[in-house]
């Protein structure tokens, strides 16, 4: 069903999207592929600047997207239900925004028509990944806790 301005996501539930539409919502920022640590006592989630073992930090993409769940046992495959409930999804995540009935930002590739707009808006992890998880011990990963993946960058807030 065509939407205003070709915005197929407007007014639709994530469960109503085709596989192609679903996949196209990903802006390719790579923030969800950063290692997250959970405090055992409080349950609080902390982002790190450490990438999943399959993250290609040069392009912010999974190196084996089709087999990621087999190769990384704790990889969470996002679906419409989890997109609405996972509180660690970045505030810029299209799945999170659509699940909450919001529109996509101007820098999203589906709106801008340019994949590099994610980098220009400061949303991408390109140039911000310290190391991949296999290169660091868990203690070293704990030392890499950062707050930026859970925030909207200033450049992304501009209209």
Average pLDDT over residues 128-154: 96
Q: Is the pLDDT of residue 1 over 60?
A: no
Average pLDDT over residues 84-112: 94
CA–CA dist 7, 104 (Å, integer): 9
Q: Is the pLDDT of residue 5 over 90?
A: no
- Strand duo 55-56 + 45-51: pairing: unpaired
For the ranges 39-43, 70-74, 132-136, the lowest mean pLDDT is seen at 70-74
Q: Whole-prediction pTM value?
A: 0.90
For the ranges 40-54, 76-90, 121-135, the lowest mean pLDDT is seen at 76-90
How crowded is the C-beta side of 102, counted as CA atoms within 13 Å? 13
């Amino acid at each position: 069903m065509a939407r205003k301005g070709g915005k197929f996501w407007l007014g639709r539930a994530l469960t109503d999207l085709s596989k192609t539409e679903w996949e196209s919502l990903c802006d390719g920022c790579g923030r969800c592929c950063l290692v997250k640590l959970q405090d055992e006592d409080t349950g609080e989630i902390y982002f790190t600047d450490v990438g999943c073992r399959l993250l290609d930090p040069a392009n912010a993409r999974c190196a084996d997207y089709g087999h990621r769940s087999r190769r990384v046992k704790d990889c969470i495959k996002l679906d419409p239900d989890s997109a609405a409930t996972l509180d660690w999804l970045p505030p810029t995540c299209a799945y999170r925004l659509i699940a909450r009935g919001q529109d996509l930002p101007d820098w999203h590739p589906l709106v801008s028509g340019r994949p590099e707009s994610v980098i220009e808006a400061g949303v991408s992890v390109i140039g911000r990944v310290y190391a991949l998880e296999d290169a660091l011990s868990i203690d070293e990963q704990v030392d890499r806790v950062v707050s930026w993946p859970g925030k909207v960058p200033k450049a992304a807030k501009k209209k």
